[in-house]
Amino acid sequence: MKRWQLWLGLAISLLFVAMALRGLKLDEVWAHMRSANYIWLIPSVAVYFVAVWARTWRWDYMLRPLKHIPLRRLFPVVVIGYMGNNVYPFRAGELLRSYVLRRREDVSISASLATVIVERVFDGLVMLVFVFAALPFAPIPGDNGRIRAIVIFASIAFFAALVIFFGLAAFPDQFYRLAQWFSDRLLPERVARPLLDFLQRFLEGLESLRHFRNVLMIFLTSVVIWLLETVKYWFVMHAFDFQVSFFALMLMNGVVNLATTLPSAPGYVGTFDEPGIEVLKLYGIPDNIAAAYTLILHAALWFPITALGAYYMLREGLGWSDFGKAALAAGGETSS
């Protein structure tokens, strides 16, 4: 990871952590964490892995134009990828996921990476749907500029990305010819040819967006995935002495995950926690309880998938150096 990227993520995380800690009484936060009923984490983890299995099915559906891979073989690859997102900044696990898929199934990194990016776009759109769908049923009392700014920024970014990817998927040949025209005039042959080859494989990865039925299935599966994750939020809430509606948790889920698209330290430190605390405070939850709940929720989301991903990495014979190999492999596809 380039040094400036790492420092940018750390700086943003530190800013969010500072905002989250403002006004908290850490001894009270710790007291709420100690008194929580952790038996509720068991169903929360179970439902989360059902969501991970649904994510695996969605990715399988998007990969089918390239290669149909049994879910039992694809599930460990997905888990390794999410583990990588939790321990490396800038969602480096997405690249690791594509690298492992090429290693196991001989699917081009650039093509599978296109499907992964499309997944992220649909995830972002569903988060926006959650925010806008939840607001009529769980209106935010008062106003919060940070939450509004996150939603506005994310709306612009994800809808713009959706338009771009639909355009690429609908007119791949025209876009390739346009890129070829520019590269022939602006780039030397030794640079242009590998980049065009990479672009061609990337466009192949967008095949699933060329049919309305596929787009509908990807969107509906994304809704199911994030509803299941909201159920996890609901289970963890029962470990603490407060109650908000399911729609309020949908809103929290949407805002939190939109915020985690920002660069941050590994594991979305700060960018997950501060928005979650702020949303709960808007619904009248005391800030110390909100902080205790958000921290435990964050840990319950982070640890199980990271532990299972580490197990699958060891079973696959992978090491931490394979993150670097994944980057080199992706770069190799542009120079092959």
> Residue-wise pLDDT tens for the chain (336 aa)?
457 777 888 899 999 999 999 889 999 999 999 999 999 999 999 999 999 999 999 999 999 988 999 999 999 999 999 999 898 877 788 888 999 999 899 998 889 999 999 999 999 889 988 888 887 887 776 655 666 777 777 778 888 888 898 898 889 889 888 988 888 888 888 788 888 888 888 888 888 888 889 999 999 999 999 999 999 999 999 999 999 999 999 999 998 998 888 888 888 999 999 999 999 998 999 999 999 999 999 999 999 999 999 999 999 888 777 766 666 665 556 555
CB distance 85 to 78 below 8 Å: no
- DSSP state, residue 139: P
In 3D space, the residue among 133, 118, 111, 29 whose CA is nearest the CA of residue 67 turns out to be 111
Burial 294-312 (b: 16+ CB within 10 A, else e): bbbbbebbbebbbebbbeb
> 314, exposed or middle or buried, with CB in 10 Å at 0-12, 13-18, 19+?
exposed
Domain spans of the chain? Answer: 3-333
Alpha-carbon gap, residue 254 to 289, rounded angstroms: 20
Alpha-carbon gap, residue 103 to 96, rounded angstroms: 10
Instruction: Give 266's contacts (C-beta < 8 A, 6+ positions apart).
Output: 9, 86, 87, 88, 89
The string of DSSP codes covering 145-212 is HHHHHHHHHHHHHHHHHHHHHHHHHHSHHHHHHHHHHHHHHHS-HHHHHHHHHHHHHHHHTTGGGGSH
